[in-house]
Structure 1
Amino acid sequence: MPKLLQFKEDARRSLAEGVHVLARAVRGTLGPKGRLVILDRPIGKPIVSNDGVTIANEIELVDRFQNMGVQLAREAAFQTNEIAGDGTTTSVLLADALIQQAQAALNHGVNPVDLTGHLELLGQQVLQFIREQHFNLTDRPGLEAVAAIAAGDQRLGRLIAEVLERLGSESHIELSADFGPDRVEYRGGMQFDRGYISHHLARDSQRMQIDMSNAAVLITDLKMPHGPHLEELAEACDERGYALLIIAEDYTPEAIAQIVLLNESGNRPVAAVRAPEFGPWRTLALEDIAIFTGGRFLARDLGFAPTQANWASLGFAERVVVDHDHFVILNGRGSPEAVAGRKNTIREQLSVTEQPFERDKLMERLTRLSGNTAVIYVGGLTGVEQKERLQRAEDALNAARNALREGVVLGGGVTYIHAARMLKDLNAPESSGSRIMAQTILCQALEEPLRALAENCGRDPEDTVQIAYGSTSVGLNALNGEYQDLRQAHIFDSVTSVTQSLANALSVAKMVINATVLIVDTLDVTDPTAGPARGGGEERFGME
């Protein structure tokens, strides 16, 4: 296929214009006073959002060279969202500021490789400075403020802070839309997205669920066949006053029918679910359940067969609840020492794991083993409002969790201003022109989030920046639009979101600055049926 090419200044200009379009689209959403963006959908209702990565995912430009700039800036927002869960808009604004400021330097003949090299070194100094400024949250008001700022809603921020304070940052917290007011429902134990294998097992016909107290748990990653072993297990549990939950990879049709019959004929419930997760994560999840309940995992790799199951291989829990989509194991009877050891092992794996998907999976396992779960119902009068508020709640939950785990810095863009002030005070001997230019570019870019925040609050950006430069803690409280001591007002950002936003913005800016050629496919596809169609379009093919 033929290609279109752009070179040097034209290539960088197209990328910069694309990044700037995306930055303009998300700029007005920054902070608790940010506005909304309405996204059209080919089918269904429009999406209303103020989430940077959601907006970025919807933007495609007609100019294919500029669209490459949008894609690069989108990657900064996506990576920030993957690691920090918040700060996506900030990362786009920082990337845009770095790129636009660098354009002027490149037009004056500054070498792009030298410029990006100095930006890299100075950026590392800034990131180290920010990490050194962090401190731990020690009170409830600070946690509430972090969540409220990220959500743009003080009531929702208080609810999220209440849940995290009660259950801890390692707890399993779900978000769900609801037509009523914001509320929280606390649930204990390990929860998985697997429901019963047959609705005939549900003893509660109104709720369509199985609620078992004093439950025995059989755990295997093998396919469960029918046979006398199931009947013997059910009888052993019934005699001892225990219900039975079977967790297996799958079930034969005959086994399902046998389990339904055992459930209907016995005094105690018998339930069955398919094993949660997939691949290696399934094995780890089943091992976690075995440790949590004190049972034996009848694993395929260890040569076990499901027909070998007996009373000694069962785990136990105070309560098990199974519905169409989920099952929850409450207060497992496993050894506290074994559970604590398993959690410590997962924490050690987390400390050396960088891949976002694997980190998410490890965090899920850790929260389940903690035995604390909750569902936060986010209210809204319409489906569109519910989706928009759910996005805000997700940002707030991620920001508050990161604040508890990693610590916080002063919010409202002030920490970036303090980092810029530190940069301006650096006097490297015999500094080259490109280093001085990089220092200027980075300082100006670090001011951009605060300028955008001030615009959204109706304040003068220049005055706001100067006030922040002149103090160690005074800045703009975006919740009320007033200049206050941010430490006393509990205006904080998680150190994770602040550092990740800048690191990802620097990464994208370096790629754009060093770009010298852009190559895209041509779009020479024409519609043969365009124009008057005397014969259904055949005349366009010479069939008049």
Structure 2
Amino acid sequence: MFRFSKISVRCYAKDLKFGSEARKAMLTGVDMLTDAVAVTMGPKGRNVVIEQSWGSPKITKDGVTVAKAIDFKDKFQNMGAKLVQDVANKTNEEAGDGTTCATVLARAIAKEGFENISKGANPVEVRKGLMKAVDQLVNELKAMSKTVTTPEEIAQVATIAANGDKTIGKLISDAMKKVGNKGVITVKDGKTLQDELELIEGMKFDRGYISPYFINSAKGAKVEFEKCYILFSEKKISQIQDIVPALELANKYRRPVLILAEDVDGEALTTLVLNRLKVGLQVCAVKAPGFGDNRKNTLRDMAVSTGGVVFGEESALLKLEDIQIQDFGEAEEVTVTKDDTLILRGKGTPEEIEKRIALIQDELEASTSDYEKEKLNERLAKLSTGVAQLKIGGASEVEVNEKKDRVTDALCATRAAVEEGIVPGGGVALLRALKKLDKLKPDNEDQKSGIKIVQKAIRQPISTIIANAGLEPSAIVEKVLASSDINYGYDAMNDVYVNMIEAGIIDPTKVIRTALQDAAGVASLMATTECVVTEIPKEEPAMPGGGGMGGMGGGMGNLKFSKNQVIFFLLSKVAIRCSFTIDCRVGSHQQKPFIHNCRDGSSAKLQDQQFS
């Protein structure tokens, strides 16, 4: 006998639009979103202030941040806006910068595409011609690209991406010089007004000592060890018998010992503290960083780095009470503060460290999660070159957040430049590739229309930069096109014509390529749209009005507070916790005197209280 469960599905009515009406509604949303994003483009681009559901408004000049913040009430307009948001998001994920350029290109391609299709062009053939043109432009950009090698060129790329901030450019250049082009560089809030670069060599993690009784330094509240043994445990250490063998070995060899475990408490912690205070044994216990599998992997990384083993691993079958001297990890220096731990110059063998690095790199290639990739990169850096931290300072949280957006963009742009090289900036590279499209041979007139769409669209980035500088774009664009020098362009910041490469006005090839490909892919699909379907939200019935309180005719009914409610009140400047029963029904208040003996021996009396 079979049983069938009922499945209820909520269905909403649909609203449909076709043809030019659908495309026009979507284009309205695209236009409004792009207008908001485009004002941030170029050295004289403006900021956008975004209301947030909590805290103060966000001020930003980051295109993708502006795009993500925009929603429209009209569902057809919102659908067009969301498609362009996808362009910005995809470009940001792939290249880390160029989102404003991608948004401007997407609007231009979609707009020209809509016009051509409205005049009767075949949408499929138009898209084919459009993608042919994009492929030709990508090849030309790669041919134009120049390799980035020197710190000065890296600083130039970062400066341009950070909206002309030379301090940020130098900061990123210095960071890459110290940890390498593929090293891990993190961006964090600073604690001063100035931007700072901190290089963390070795293993550093955000866990401090479990007890302040471990402090052994006169220079501050910290623990400092030299030539230190390190004990790693995946499990919690609570029993005294688990810890005594390790302490005996450390005492025998007159070496300090750092214990890294899931937790240390109970008898084990008491034993450690007593040995520290009474015997003078140099010991410190720290909780292992992270949670779950991430904690286990981090412990294994540290064990490999210091030449130790991890107790508690199911595969190793090691018990703490059986510890031998070779099971300890070793490090030249260990510093533990209230908040973090730093392990320097571990004694792990280079061969084992290389194997561990290769394993993490394989995991990194296989991972699809951004969070996992971030954690794997951090682990990789700690095992190899260390981590460079950019601490961004400012006078207020709003200022720091705005600067962090620019630093993150600059960092991503710099990595992209190192990866694929650079081209002249300021929209000039796309303009220079324009002439190559004249040589393309389309199969039919509709494909030719697609090529012309791209020819018009790639003028938009430089035109937007010039317009944001308060000038008329057409004359300047034509003057740049008239020059035979591939690097000749317009410096919008200083209002002069210059050699863009020599002036340091450059763009990463990867950023421009990605922006062009992503914009063309989505915008060409939008242009071929014939029908748009949205949901009509179901109208919910209004909630019935509530009744009055007390004698106002219902609503509260038979209101009763639960028994043993805990309240706090102040009596003779002493906070007292009291427990009492209230029976509070509408129209009949029952009050009983209540006497509670307080902690200080006095009494508190509650009576004649009125509840309404």
Amino acid at match of 2:48: V
Residue 49 of structure 1 corresponds to which residue in structure 2? 60
Deviation at 1:252, TM superposition (A): 5.7
Deviations 1:107-136 (A, max 9, x none): 112232333344334333333432343332
- Aligned equivalents of 1:223, 1:498: Cα separation in 2: 52
- Aligned equivalents of 1:192, 1:410: Cα separation in 2: 41
CA 500–331 in structure 1, closer or farther in 2 if over 3 Å, else same: farther
- Aligned equivalents of 1:509, 1:476: Cα separation in 2: 28
1:271 aligns with 2:285: yes
- Aligned equivalents of 1:187, 1:405: Cα separation in 2: 24
- Aligned equivalents of 1:305, 1:262: Cα separation in 2: 25
1:115 aligns with 2:126: yes
Amino acid at match of 2:27: A
- Kindly report which structure 2 residues correspond to 1:251-270, keeping only aligned pairs within 5 A, or say none: 251=264, 253-264=266-277, 266-270=280-284
1:233 aligns with 2:239: no
Say which of 17, 21, 32 aligns to 2:43: 32
Return the structure number with greater relative CO, CA threshold 8 A, min gap 6: 1
- Bigger Rg, which one: 2
- Kindly report which structure 2 residues correspond to 1:450-465, keeping only aligned pairs within 5 A, or say none: 450-465=462-477
Amino acid at match of 2:393: G
CA 534–248 in structure 1, closer or farther in 2 if over 3 Å, else same: closer
Deviations 1:82-126 (A, max 9, x none): 232222222222221221111111111223233334433433333
CA 192–465 in structure 1, closer or farther in 2 if over 3 Å, else same: farther
What is the RMSD computed on CA atoms of the aligned residues?
3.3
Say which of 510, 526, 537 aligns to 1:522: 537
Residue 425 of structure 1 corresponds to which residue in structure 2? 439
- Aligned equivalents of 1:123, 1:131: Cα separation in 2: 12
- Aligned equivalents of 1:371, 1:257: Cα separation in 2: 38
Amino acid at match of 1:427: K
Say which of 486, 491, 511 aligns to 1:472: 486
Amino acid at match of 2:461: P
- Aligned equivalents of 2:299, 2:120: Cα separation in 1: 61
Deviation at 1:262, TM superposition (A): 5.0
Q: Report the secondary structure of 1:290's partner residue.
A: helix
- Aligned equivalents of 2:18, 2:538: Cα separation in 1: 19
Deviation at 1:196, TM superposition (A): 4.3
- Aligned equivalents of 2:216, 2:15: Cα separation in 1: 66
CA 282–267 in structure 1, closer or farther in 2 if over 3 Å, else same: closer
1:77 aligns with 2:92: no
Deviations 1:418-476 (A, max 9, x none): 33332233234xx2122111111122222222211222233432234334433311123
Residue 452 of structure 2 corresponds to which residue in structure 1? 440
Q: Report the secondary structure of 2:331's partner residue.
A: strand
Amino acid at match of 2:198: E
CA 372–462 in structure 1, closer or farther in 2 if over 3 Å, else same: same
8 Å CA contact 2:127, 2:447 repeated in 1: no
- Normalising by structure 2, we get a TM-score of 0.78
- Aligned equivalents of 1:82, 1:64: Cα separation in 2: 26
Amino acid at match of 2:374: D
Tell which deviates more after alignment, 195-204 or 172-181: 195-204
Q: Report the secondary structure of 1:191's partner residue.
A: strand
- Aligned equivalents of 1:296, 1:335: Cα separation in 2: 13
8 Å CA contact 1:189, 1:372 repeated in 2: yes
Residue 541 of structure 1 corresponds to which residue in structure 2? none
Deviation at 1:364, TM superposition (A): 2.5
8 Å CA contact 1:177, 1:378 repeated in 2: yes
Bigger proportion of residues as helix: 1
Q: Report the secondary structure of 2:459's partner residue.
A: helix
8 Å CA contact 1:262, 1:270 repeated in 2: no
- Kindly report which structure 2 residues correspond to 1:232-311, keeping only aligned pairs within 5 A, or say none: 232-251=245-264, 253-264=266-277, 266-276=280-290, 278-279=292-293, 281-298=294-311, 300-307=313-320, 308-311=322-325
Deviations 1:249-292 (A, max 9, x none): 4556554555555555543231312243653x444433332332
Unaligned residue ranges in structure 1 (runs of 5+): 539-544
Amino acid at match of 2:537: T
Q: Report the secondary structure of 1:178's partner residue.
A: coil
- Normalising by structure 1, we get a TM-score of 0.87
Deviations 1:185-229 (A, max 9, x none): 333223334444456555569965444333333334344443323
Amino acid at match of 1:170: K
Amino acid at match of 2:473: P
Say which of 166, 179, 194 aligns to 1:167: 179
Identity value in percent: 30
Residue 106 of structure 1 corresponds to which residue in structure 2? 117
Q: Report the secondary structure of 1:300's partner residue.
A: coil
Q: Report the secondary structure of 2:392's partner residue.
A: strand
Unaligned residue ranges in structure 2 (runs of 5+): 1-11, 553-612
- Aligned equivalents of 2:277, 2:509: Cα separation in 1: 55
CA 111–527 in structure 1, closer or farther in 2 if over 3 Å, else same: farther
- Aligned equivalents of 1:158, 1:379: Cα separation in 2: 15
Q: Report the secondary structure of 1:33's partner residue.
A: coil
CA 250–28 in structure 1, closer or farther in 2 if over 3 Å, else same: same
- Aligned equivalents of 1:467, 1:191: Cα separation in 2: 55
